[in-house]
Amino acid sequence: MNMADIIRMAVHNLRFRKARTLLNLLGIVVGCIVLLMTAAGVRGVKEAVRILFDSSETARQIGLVASSYSVVTPPDEAMVVEGEMSPERRERIRQQLEWKWQRENRPDKRWELNDQSITELEKHKKIVSVVPEISVRCRIEVPSRESEDFDADAPPQSISVQAYGADPASGLLKGRLIAGDTGAEEYSEAGLPDVLLDEFTAYQLGYRSDEEVESLIGRPIRLIYESAPPKQRQVFQMLTENWGDLSTGQLAQQAQFMSSIATVMSELDKTSLTEAQKDTLRSLFEPPGQQLKETPSVTLNARVAGVLMEGDSDGIARLFRGHWHEGYGNVGIHSKLANQIFQDVFDQDTFHGAMLTVNSTQDLAEIEELLENQGATTYSAVRIIEAMERSIDESAWVVLGIAAAILLTAGIGISNTLLVSVLERTPEFGIMKSVGATDRALLWLMVCEGAILGFAGALIATLLSFVVGWAGQSFLQMYLEYRLGGEVASTLFRFGPIPIAIVFVVSLTICVLASIFPAWRAAKLDPIVAMQRS
């Protein structure tokens, strides 16, 4: 008997016993469908979540705070924990040794977020934009409703607002527009700069109906920034440079103390102290060789480019709300111009924080590590995304365990069915051996029947999985859109060649292994004894 004869006989035997064959196939098909659908679903859902988050500017943002020193890894010899102790206590002591070494070996200079460092970050190929978080109190003025421009005879409308730096190219801003546009994306010193107002500011200025809000677009506007009092700048400078990061209570105490010192320093000339004593005090509390001087107010003439609604235009933003915030205010101006105004008003060239936007959520971890190594504190969606992917993987392992149990049960059923088939066909095997069939031929016959069941089950399961995936796409898509708050436009069941090949291999392996013992029993039959059985 050659292999072709063995295959024909195996197919004939399976077709002859249709009920048993169908029951065996049912277990194999169900197990393979669960296995393949789980693999395709995990791959598709992960990819869909990635695409959904990549389409969200909020998910691709990193909140940056330049409030710490650069991270330096201690040498191994500084981390040695001596003595016998529990692993938990050893790890706690090791952590304390690491912090102690880092405090003692802290670099002299903090990493600063300034124009130079922002320019360097913007050159990174995976960073789309860097917008410093700037919020400055100012007063805005718009011409009266009867005037097209500022007129001395008609007093302008004026209110106090909070101005912030904005990126006109941001999709978050464009999604919040209710009138106009976000203005020129490239900053130019020529012409009037563009300004964005929120809808409540427009309402306070008297532009309340939809038509009135539309008429506000293109109108001139004046922003007046008042410089901070000298003693406030001095308190801020001395607190941050001499005491570093403080708690709220400590900051209040130090601010009160330094404010008193600044008041005394401003009244030195009215005291009876000698000039030498005055010079000594000034040398202690003022920068050597210079006096604090008033910076003039900054007046910016601009035009209203757009009006923004309150809230977030990004539905996914609610997933990350509370993890970091973006510097919203009442009036938005181009971030480049806002940087210049901030430096003029506060007389400093460094920023407390910034908002970075990267190309993809897959770049978040890399950019975060880069920033933290430089000494920044970062906040992003990377941990939320990683936790979501872990949750998907954990759920997948549970379902895969169920699929494995189904396939194992199907394998036991196949082994039992083939064993019963051997007992029923004992006289047939006896006749076959008497006319020249070898033990190897009978062995291959039973193994071939198991292999055919495994291959047919995997093939049917693959075809049915395509149908189930197509039918379940809409249901799973609606569920994810409800949970994530965004539109899912990608395929949620991604059937790749590797998972399909794995399903075929697993199915064939289980069925072949299940047929080995019945095949061994058939090969060891004595032909004379076998033919005597009824």
Q: Identify whether 182 is part of a domain.
A: yes
My answer on whether 306 and 208 are in the same domain is: yes
Q: For residue 289, is pLDDT > 50? A: no
Domain extent for 331: 134-227+295-351
My answer on whether 141 and 239 are in the same domain is: no
Q: How far apart are CA 113 and CA 134, in angstroms?
A: 12
Q: How far apart are CA 283 and CA 278, in angstroms?
A: 9
Tokens describing residue 114: 């300034």
Q: For residue 174, is pLDDT > 90? A: no
Q: Identify whether 520 is part of a domain.
A: yes
* Confidence at residue 460, expressed as pLDDT on a 0 to 100 scale: 92
My answer on whether 434 and 525 are in the same domain is: yes
Q: Identify whether 66 is part of a domain.
A: no
My answer on whether 211 and 238 are in the same domain is: no
pLDDT single digits (tens) 80-119:
888 888 988 888 888 888 888 877 776 655 667 888 888 8
Global confidence as pTM:
0.61
Domain count along the chain: 3
Is 31 or 427 the better-scoring residue by pLDDT?
Answer: 31
My answer on whether 404 and 327 are in the same domain is: no
My answer on whether 341 and 391 are in the same domain is: no
Q: What's the pLDDT band for 503 if we cut at 50, 70, 90?
A: confident
Tokens describing residue 362: 């897959």
My answer on whether 262 and 148 are in the same domain is: no
Q: Is 119 helix (H, G, I), strand (E, B) or coil?
A: helix
Q: Which percentage of the chain shows pLDDT scores above 90?
A: 8
**228-242, 373-387, 414-428: which range is least confident on average?**
228-242
Question: Which stretch, 12-26, 168-182, 247-261, has highest mean pLDDT?
Answer: 168-182
Q: Is the dihedral of CA 155, 157, 162, 166 positive or negative?
A: negative
My answer on whether 403 and 489 are in the same domain is: yes
Other Cβ atoms less than 10 A from the Cβ of 132: the count is 24
pLDDT single digits (tens) 225-284:
866 555 444 555 555 555 555 554 555 666 666 667 767 777 777 777 777 777 777 776
Is 77 or 293 the better-scoring residue by pLDDT?
Answer: 77
DSSP state of 110: -
Is 312 or 78 the better-scoring residue by pLDDT?
Answer: 78
Cα separations in angstroms, 128 against 90, 355, 384, 467, 514: 43, 11, 21, 41, 57
The mean pLDDT value for 163-170 works out to 87
Q: Identify whether 302 is part of a domain.
A: yes
Q: Identify whether 280 is part of a domain.
A: yes
The mean pLDDT value for 47-65 works out to 82
Q: Any idea which residue has 């277990």 for tokens?
A: 27
Q: Identify whether 267 is part of a domain.
A: yes
Other Cβ atoms less than 10 A from the Cβ of 277: the count is 12
* Confidence at residue 447, expressed as pLDDT on a 0 to 100 scale: 83
* Confidence at residue 197, expressed as pLDDT on a 0 to 100 scale: 92
The closest alpha carbon to 331, from 525, 100, 443, 163, belongs to: 163
The mean pLDDT value for 469-473 works out to 82
Amino acid at 178: I
My answer on whether 450 and 519 are in the same domain is: yes
| Residue at which a domain ends, from 351, 376, 395 | 351
Q: How far apart are CA 219 and CA 211, in angstroms?
A: 14
pLDDT single digits (tens) 432-467:
777 777 778 877 888 888 888 889 989 999 999 898
My answer on whether 390 and 499 are in the same domain is: yes
* Confidence at residue 211, expressed as pLDDT on a 0 to 100 scale: 92
Q: Identify whether 501 is part of a domain.
A: yes
Q: What's the pLDDT band for 324 if we cut at 50, 70, 90?
A: very low
Other Cβ atoms less than 10 A from the Cβ of 446: the count is 28
My answer on whether 212 and 253 are in the same domain is: no
Q: What's the pLDDT band for 53 if we cut at 50, 70, 90?
A: confident
Q: For residue 290, is pLDDT > 50? A: no
My answer on whether 246 and 207 are in the same domain is: no
* Confidence at residue 100, expressed as pLDDT on a 0 to 100 scale: 84
Q: For residue 182, is pLDDT > 90? A: no
Q: For residue 409, is pLDDT > 90? A: no
The mean pLDDT value for 339-351 works out to 79
* Confidence at residue 153, expressed as pLDDT on a 0 to 100 scale: 73
Q: Identify whether 219 is part of a domain.
A: yes
Task: Provide the mean pLDDT of the chain.
Answer: 78
